[in-house]
Structure 1
Amino acid sequence: MVGHQRLPGINNPTSGSISVTSAKQEQEKSSVCLRTSRISSCLHFRPVVGLSALCSVLLLACVALSVLYYNESDRRPAWTSLLFEYQNMSESCLTLTTANSHLRGENEMLKQQISWLDEQTKLLNRTSAKLMSVNLALSAESAELTEQSVNLTSTNLELTQENERLVQQRSEQEEEKLNMSQTIKHLVDSSAQREEEVRRLSEMNGLLSNELFELKEKNKELLETNNKFQGEVKNLSEQVGALLMDDCEEVRKHNMQLQERVAKLQEQQQNLSSTLMKERQEAAEREDGSRNKLHRVMADMQSVKEAFHSLDLYCPVLNHKTKERVCKKCPNSWRLFENKCYYFSTRVLTWSSSRAWCQTQGGDLLVVDSEPEQSFVFESSQAVEQSGSRLWIGMTDAEVEGEWMWVDGSSLASREQYWLSRPGTGAEPDDWKLDDPLGEDCGHIDSSETALQSWLDGSCKTPYRWICEKTV
């Protein structure tokens, strides 16, 4: 009888217990892993735990087969088949053990990755702390910027008020300039008369100078006459002294005559002095009057020079021989169309501020009178588009809602109208109140639309560009 071949697991009973122990350790590791806080890393151990459990079950099956082998040793054919199955299961177990070792290697790699992830987490925590400190610093800086923004807002309000005051002042200066322009023609016409008057006054000044010289000569003669009278008085006094010794009565009579003559001479001298003083005073007054007239004429000539300077700026001389002048039809930055000048702004203002600016330039906001004018301003607006496609024009219904008026006082109903009409959204004007509770009471052109459908109503407080016009 052939001896029984002992199975590895049966001949070494401790191997089964060792495998069971290793399976229990794997189960304990898996349970410990499941209790850890890192659930994502525990999920990587599940295949290892499953394979370990499977190996344990196979080993238990081998032990059970060994026990059956000893109990039923007479039934060899059945045990032979069981032996083959056992060997196959042993090979499978070896394969699973190999896979288990591979999984253990992967587990080590996963542990290293988890360690690296822990380091990255710590680094991220430090970075988060730094970001929190930076966030606090940015919050403080944001508070400072908010305060600065409030200060700048108040400064902007003050500058806006100052700008309105300057616009008003500029309007007054432009009005004065307009009045000055109106006087240029009068000054040019009176320039020849002023020159003639200057010449005549110069001649009069020469005559007065000659007359003053004659008065000085006459004054000199009167002084010489006075000196002669003083000499005669002295001689008479000496004669009186000599005659006193001869005849007192005759001396008294002669003295009385002499005194009367001296009194007359003194009276005559006094009259001559007063006459000389009057003539001097009159000459001085005439000289002051001539000097004042001369100063006035010089001031007028200076005004005429300034007027001619302004005239040269607006009406330069083309031919210096013939003195021919050609005046500019429109100022710089203004465009000519038919008999009007147009200004297309590149800045933005509210409707009222835009109109005030136009008025300081001697004009007003645009009033559209015809289709060619509408086409011209629309195309020109597109050509200078910089700060948006919308431009204020001179129409408003602020006084009576729905009754649109031009700034020249005419009704919009009596003119051609080019309101925008969009399919499905209705036509302008619509008095939209969501942006401004007061509604939309001022008109503007949108150069992004079509030329003959480009008018819209808008809030008068919104800053847009604007169009001015004035007569050539």
Structure 2
Amino acid sequence: MKGSPSPRVPAEERGGCPRLSRWALLIPVLIFKACITCGCLVILHKQSLKAHKLPETFPEWRCALGTPGSKEGVWTCCPMGWKPFQATCYFLSSDSMSWDESEKNCMGMGSHLVVINTQAEQDFLLNWTKDIFSSRQSYFIGLSAQEVEAQWRWVDQTPYNKTAAFWIPGEPRIPKREKCTALQVHSRTQARQNWNDIPCSTSLNRICEAAAAFI
């Protein structure tokens, strides 16, 4: 009847089942703590990471807690199929292309040809590539010579540091014709000095790198 007071709704009904809400919040917390305790790796999908502004070119990511170089309690994430080292993710191709095509391919994945800044990074790449192939293999890296002879430049504009370069003894020899750089790996040797200048049109495998994501 119009004007008659509406029946009072019990507090539990007005609140929308508060017990269920508490469990809905508690269960994910318990799962997350269990994952940390076990030290497990988790696979996160693009939808769950979108809020952290990660690139959207990869549908899945692999994350680890306590990756060297990351802050305590922070998860370091790389796309599936990429390998983490410190705060960077690396991709090793199984197909071969010219240097220009290799850089375009890396850029299409939101990365660039690898820029090697330290001896630790050089050693990491050497050990990783040696473990994959049983014979000699070459990979393009992001170093090329400009128009002026011997003016080497990294793809991300990092200044070229001659003292932090890892050329094969006697290289580079002909920067005017061999303007691109390859990292040469042989499974039977441990030589750290393994950069070689070659023609950019050569078809080689490649190493791409991108900054890791942190959550």
* Common fold by TM > 0.5: yes
What does residue 173 of structure 2 align with?
Answer: 430
Please state how far the C-alpha of 1:185 moved relative to its aligned partner: 2.6
| 1:387 and 1:465 in contact (8 A); partners too | no
Identity of aligned residues (%): 28
- Matching of residues 76-95 of structure 1 within 5 Å: none
State the shift of 1:415 in Å. 5.5
Alignment of 1:224-239 (within 5 A): none
Residue in 1 that maps onto 2:147: 399
Question: What amino acid is the match of 2:192?
Answer: L
Report the CA distance shift for 1:379/1:440 in structure 2 as closer, same or farther (over 3 A): same
Q: In structure 2, what is the Cα distance between the partners aligned to 1:186 and 1:452?
A: 37
Q: Which residue of 1 aligns with 2:11?
A: none
Q: Corresponding residue for 1:373?
A: 121
Unaligned runs of at least 5 residues, structure 2? 1-45, 64-73
> 1:467 corresponds to which residue?
207
Q: Out of 444, 451, 458, which is 2:198 matched to?
A: 458
Contact in 1 for aligned 2:183/2:195 (Cα 8 Å): yes
- Tell me which amino acid in the other structure corresponds to 1:407: V
Whether contact under 8 Å (1:397, 1:403) holds in the other structure is yes
Given that 1:395 and 1:442 are in contact with CA atoms closer than 8 Å, whether structure 2 keeps it comes out as: yes
Give me the whole-angstrom Cα distance separating, in 1, the residues matched to 2:90 and 2:159: 22
User: 1:6-405 maps to which residues of 2 (within 5 A)?
Assistant: 184-185=50-51, 313-314=60-61, 329-385=77-133, 388-405=136-153
- CA distance in 2: counterparts of 1:312 and 1:431, whole angstroms: 42
Report Cα offsets for 1:158-179 as digits up to 9, x if no partner. Answer: xxxxxxxxxxxxxxxxxxxxxx
Q: Which has the higher strand share?
A: 2
Q: What is residue 271 of structure 1 aligned with on the other side?
A: none
Question: SS at 1:400's partner residue?
Answer: coil
User: In the superposition, relative to structure 1, how do residues 387 and 399 fare at CA in structure 2: closer, same or farther (>3 Å)?
Assistant: farther
CA contact (8 A) 2:168 2:195 kept: yes
Q: Partner of 1:440 in structure 2?
A: 178
d(CA) in 1 for partners of 2:185 and 2:120?
15
Aligned residue for 1:329, secondary structure, equals strand
Report the CA distance shift for 1:415/1:364 in structure 2 as closer, same or farther (over 3 A): farther
Aligned residue number for residue 169 of structure 1: none
Q: Which has the greater radius of gyration?
A: 1
Which structure exhibits the higher relative contact order, with contacts defined as CA atoms closer than 8 Å and separated by 6 or more residues?
2
Separation (CA, whole Å) in 2 of partners of 1:336 and 1:409 = 22
Q: How many positions carry a matched residue from both structures?
A: 152
- 1:429 is paired with a residue whose SS is coil
Q: Please report how far the alpha carbon of residue 314 of structure 1 lies from its aligned counterpart in structure 2 after TM superposition.
A: 4.4
Residues 415 and 358 (structure 1 numbering): CA distance in 2 closer, same or farther, change over 3 Å? farther
| Helix, strand or coil at the partner of 2:122 | helix
Classify 1:399/1:315 alpha carbon distance in 2 versus 1 (closer, same or farther; 3 Å). Answer: same
> Could you say which structure has the higher helix fraction?
1
- Quote how far apart the aligned CAs of 1:385 are: 2.5
Unaligned runs of 5+ in 1: 1-179, 188-306, 317-325, 422-426, 433-437
Residue identity opposite 2:161 in structure 1: A
CA 1:399–1:337 in structure 2 vs 1: closer, same or farther (change >3 Å)?
Answer: same
SS of residue matched to 2:194? strand
TM-score normalised by length of structure 2: 0.61
Q: Which amino acid aligns with 2:51?
A: K
Q: Secondary structure at the match of 1:412?
A: coil
Q: Would the aligned equivalents of 2:76 and 2:87 in 1 still touch at CA under 8 Å?
A: no
